[in-house]
């Protein structure tokens, strides 16, 4: 079984997060990998219905998305999250919860902390799924 991991795409509404997530998903599925892209609207409807859009509620929504992603990735599924997630501290909390569950032999996944970056999945420069690095 391939190790799971979480790819978190963040940005302003309409920035192309879902489009990018869909493209990355298609490439990973083509490579016979298990991938899930939890839909932000469905998560809001089913897991975060009680939340609004205050900072506290947005942080809690990010925490819940992170929990779902961690469950998927700990079971060998690549979780791609495309969410506005505007607050760095909430994203860092999710990252720490993922790091706490990473096995000693598990891979380390790095992502750009820059606002704008591109992933060229499927290009000759793209690494295998076990050695992928996201660069800007």
Query: Residue 45 forms beta bridges with which residues?
Result: none
Query: What are the CA-CA distances from residue 7 to residues 50, 52, 131 (Å)?
Result: 26, 25, 13
pLDDT in the model for residue 1: 66
59-90 per-position pLDDT tens digit: 999 999 999 999 999 899 999 999 888 888 99
As a whole number of angstroms, the distance between CA 112 and CA 8 comes to 10
As a whole number of angstroms, the distance between CA 6 and CA 28 comes to 13
93-110 per-position pLDDT tens digit: 888 888 776 543 334 344
Burial of 32 (C-beta count, 10 Å sphere; 0-12/13-18/19+): exposed
* Fold assignment, 6-131: Rossmann fold (3.40.50)
Whether 85 is catalytic: yes
State the pTM of this model.
Answer: 0.71
pLDDT in the model for residue 14: 87
Closest CA to 119 of 24, 35, 25, 30: 24
As a whole number of angstroms, the distance between CA 52 and CA 37 comes to 22
14-25 per-position pLDDT tens digit: 888 899 999 999
Q: Considering 48, 73, 74, 85, which one is annotated as catalytic?
A: 85
pLDDT in the model for residue 86: 85
Q: Residue 63 is encoded by which pair of tokens?
A: 């925490």
């Amino acid at each position: 079984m391939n190790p799971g991991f979480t790819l978190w795409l963040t940005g302003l509404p309409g920035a192309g997060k879902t489009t990018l997530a869909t493209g990355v998903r298609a490439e990973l599925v083509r490579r016979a990998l298990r991938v899930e892209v939890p839909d932000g609207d469905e998560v809001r409807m089913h897991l975060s219905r009680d939340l609004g859009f205050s900072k506290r509620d947005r942080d809690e929504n990010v925490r819940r998305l992170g929990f779902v992603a961690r469950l998927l990735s700990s079971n060998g599924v690549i979780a791609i999250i495309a969410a506005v997630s505007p607050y760095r501290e909430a994203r860092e909390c999710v990252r720490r919860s993922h790091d706490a569950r990473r096995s000693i032999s598990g891979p380390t996944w790095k992502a750009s902390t820059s606002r704008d970056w591109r992933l060229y999945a499927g290009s000759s420069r793209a690494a295998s799924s076990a050695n992928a690095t996201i660069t800007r």
